[in-house]
Amino acid sequence: MKNHKQNKRTCIIDKKQYIKSELIRIVLINNELKIDNTHNIKGRGCYLNKKNLHKINKILKKKLFNKAFKRFISENEYLKIINYLKGVNENEEKAKSKKTTERNFNTI
């Protein structure tokens, strides 16, 4: 069998490389930020590790999108993406707690 090389990208929050499947891609299209769940939208993009979503405030504080896209990004665009990511983070935490609850229930 042929070994396929894993595509790695750098997270803008912690500057570490991760496999693309572990990342959320943010794309800049017509001065508007979009979430690219398929990793196929054309345009300049940056990546955030799903495990680093607890550090969301660092994105706004350090203006990481401005650096990644090499242009000014309005605060409204930052807030739109941050609110979306907070929702994703909360849903993942709920799913984790539900799994642990199910495991605990099954062991009783």
8-107 belongs to which CATH class?
Answer: alpha beta
Condensed to tens digits (0 to 9), the pLDDT of residues 52-65 reads 888 888 988 999 99
Would you say the C-alpha torsion 30, 57, 14, 5 has a positive or negative sign?
negative
User: In the chain, what are the domain boundaries?
Assistant: 8-107
Q: What is the pTM of this model?
A: 0.76
The answer to whether residues 81 and 88 touch, using CB atoms and an 8 Å cutoff, is no
Digit-coded pLDDT (tens) for 93-104? 666 666 655 555
Output the DSSP codes for 54-83: GGTHHHHHTTHHHHHHTS---HHHHHHHHH
